[in-house]
Chain A
Amino acid sequence: MVVANKYEMVCGLEVHVELQTKTKIFCSCTTEFGGEQNTHVCPVCLGMPGALPVLNREVVNYAIKAGLALNCEIAEFSKFDRKNYFYPDLSKNYQTSQFDLPICGKGGLEIEVDGEKKWIGITRAHMEEDAGKLVHSGDTITTSNESSVDYNRAGVPLLEIVSEPDMRSIPEVLAYLEKLVQILEYTEVSDCRLEQGSVRFDINVSLRPMGATTLGTRTETKNLNSFSSVRRCMEYEIARQARVLDAGEKVVQETRTWDEGQGVTLTLRSKEEAHDYRYFPEPDLAPLVIDREWVERIHKTLPELPEARRARLQVLGLSAYDAGVITQSKALSDFFDAALSSYEDAKTLANWVMGDVTRLLNTNQCSVVDSPISAAQLAELLGLIDKGTISGKIAKSVLEDMYSTGKDAGVIVKEKGLAQISDEGALLGIIDDVISANPQSAEDYRAGKDRAIGFLVGQIMKATKGQANPGLVNKLLKEKLS
């Protein structure tokens, strides 16, 4: 990004993802969100003296799976370390994390911004425990005389994914985050509920004069949990740093916090007074030896990732845009694939899924996984159109009935007598009636006014309550008038 043509921004990200295990990383307390305070706790996650952690196998499985999906090297040997700091969000005065031997090494993913493809490197990804939640008595931490602590979240497994400082614009940052979250959602290692804090972003950003090759001084803004906050926070922070540099001053290397209400970043702590974490190997946990068979076993469980799905849908005739919309979420993409297994015309299916089905779900604030219309039911409905049993227009109203009643399309068509009239004899009778009732229109058509036929078709559709097969009506009417 060029800031007033003077500066280039450089950005790297740390993303914390809560892994979707049933239990915490080092104890068998539930990871369920939102329980009554301090009820999902035990001596291990409360840091009671003498309590010993035992690593959850599923955390390692998910970390390997995410690492593979992000093209990371998977370590053959990995261990945990203690990151020491005093802060009451963890009761032990250290966080069990990974320092020099993380489970995932170098990887990366490809983003696309304005048609330009770019590789964003991932430095590493490591496993660690989440911290508890603090509720401050005052407005902010610095003005509070005391704080309340809930340790339900303490010990929930996290994967921290660290990117290289490869991003040069806000659109690149957002493209990277969207792609990353999409991959995590597809691999089902996390529920990716951003509004519940399942995924949190730390942004490292610096500016440097255009053309410079060395990096400027960076700031780190912690704990954002939505794409829109990331965008607003970066706009603010880049403008702030540009003002500092324009004034001939130096950017202070520090940790900042985003104030959503005021739309500003504020100093949390400067690096000079930052903690020296004194990492050392966690003596209470045995190291991990990950043989290649284990990695291979996880590799086999990887689902088709969004990029591969998009490519497959484009081969079936969807535009790049449509394929992108369908694969935006795994739930919608799965729904589409399920329908595709019993209805072959991908393009028509995509139009219905992106159009009427999505509209019905949105209107009713229903997610696609809870859709009262199943993929198979949608496929049956579209099959009825292709067979000529109902018209596309009637199908739209049948779809709405399916949504409200949960009944199959065929049942609704039968119950309501909606089947299209494709019986030539029956239609010819109606056509004769309409022509004799509108002699002028028939005359106009014969005189070369093609538009007059539209009126006649309209009258026939009206007479049949929209149930006449429109293609057949057109054909028969033209024959009759010629």
Chain B
Amino acid sequence: MSISREDVEYVAALARLELTEQETQEYTEQLNSILGYAAMLERLDTTDVVPTAHAVPLHNVLREDQVGSSINHEKALRNAPDGEEGFFRVPKISLT
């Protein structure tokens, strides 16, 4: 499997990244090298191996349904670039 320039441009667009010509070239090579490394796994027989859902062998980490404390407006909005009357404010939303 190899990554084409188009793949890199597509993924960059999904991630809202604007890449220069040189960066596109660079990432195409790097991504191919990473996938090439991971492709070593294909040489192993994984017939009876269960797909990994999580890297840590844990399950059912749950919490009881008890209300705890929330934070207030000022704290919630302290890091926000823009806000008004307790709302976060975001610039024009583009749907495409």
Interface of A with B (CB < 8 Å)?
A: 21-23, 27-30, 36-43, 46, 48, 54-60, 77, 79, 84, 86-88, 91, 101, 134-135, 141-142, 144-151, 268-269, 273, 275-276, 278, 281, 283, 285-289
- Docked pose: A68 CA to B47 CA in angstroms: 33
- Docked pose: A149 CA to B76 CA in angstroms: 12
* Chain B residues in 8 Å Cβ range of A147: 89-90, 92-93
A57 and B62 contact, CB distance less than 8 A: yes
B62 and A23 contact, CB distance less than 8 A: no
> Contacts A21-B65, A60-B62 hold; do A88 and B87 have CB atoms under 8 A apart?
no
B63 and A30 contact, CB distance less than 8 A: no
Name the residue of chain B whose CB is nearest to the CB of A148: B87
A30 and B70 contact, CB distance less than 8 A: yes
- Docked pose: A87 CA to B91 CA in angstroms: 11
Name the residue of chain A whose CB is nearest to the CB of B10: A276
- Docked pose: A59 CA to B66 CA in angstroms: 12
- Docked pose: A48 CA to B88 CA in angstroms: 14
B14 and A278 contact, CB distance less than 8 A: yes
> Contacts A55-B63, A58-B65 hold; do A150 and B87 have CB atoms under 8 A apart?
yes
Shortest CB–CB separation between residue B16 and chain A, in angstroms? 6
Asked if B73 is at the interface (CB within 8 A of a chain A CB), the reply is yes
Asked if B64 is at the interface (CB within 8 A of a chain A CB), the reply is yes
Can you give 15 contacting A-B residue pairs, CB < 8 Å?
A: A37-B73, A38-B73, A38-B76, A42-B70, A48-B79, A54-B61, A101-B53, A144-B93, A145-B92, A147-B93, A148-B89, A275-B14, A283-B55, A286-B60, A289-B59
Asked if B38 is at the interface (CB within 8 A of a chain A CB), the reply is no
- Docked pose: A27 CA to B60 CA in angstroms: 15
Asked if B6 is at the interface (CB within 8 A of a chain A CB), the reply is no
* Chain B residues in 8 Å Cβ range of A91: 88
- Give the bracket for the number of chain B residues in contact with chain A: 35 or more
DSSP majority for the A interface? loop
* Chain B residues in 8 Å Cβ range of A46: 76
B56 and A286 contact, CB distance less than 8 A: yes
Interface of B with A (CB < 8 Å)?
A: 10, 14, 16, 53-56, 58-73, 76-77, 79, 84-93, 95-96
A146 and B91 contact, CB distance less than 8 A: yes
* Chain B residues in 8 Å Cβ range of A283: 54-55
* Chain B residues in 8 Å Cβ range of A36: 73, 86
- Docked pose: A88 CA to B90 CA in angstroms: 7
A56 and B14 contact, CB distance less than 8 A: no
A39 and B60 contact, CB distance less than 8 A: no
* Chain B residues in 8 Å Cβ range of A48: 79
Name the residue of chain B whose CB is nearest to the CB of A77: B53
* Chain B residues in 8 Å Cβ range of A88: 88, 90, 93
* Chain B residues in 8 Å Cβ range of A22: 65-67
* Chain A residues in 8 Å Cβ range of B10: 276
B67 and A28 contact, CB distance less than 8 A: yes
B54 and A39 contact, CB distance less than 8 A: no
* Chain B residues in 8 Å Cβ range of A148: 84, 87-90
> Contacts A41-B76, A289-B59 hold; do A149 and B89 have CB atoms under 8 A apart?
yes
- Docked pose: A56 CA to B61 CA in angstroms: 9
- Docked pose: A92 CA to B64 CA in angstroms: 24
- Docked pose: A30 CA to B79 CA in angstroms: 22
* Chain B residues in 8 Å Cβ range of A275: 14
B86 and A28 contact, CB distance less than 8 A: no
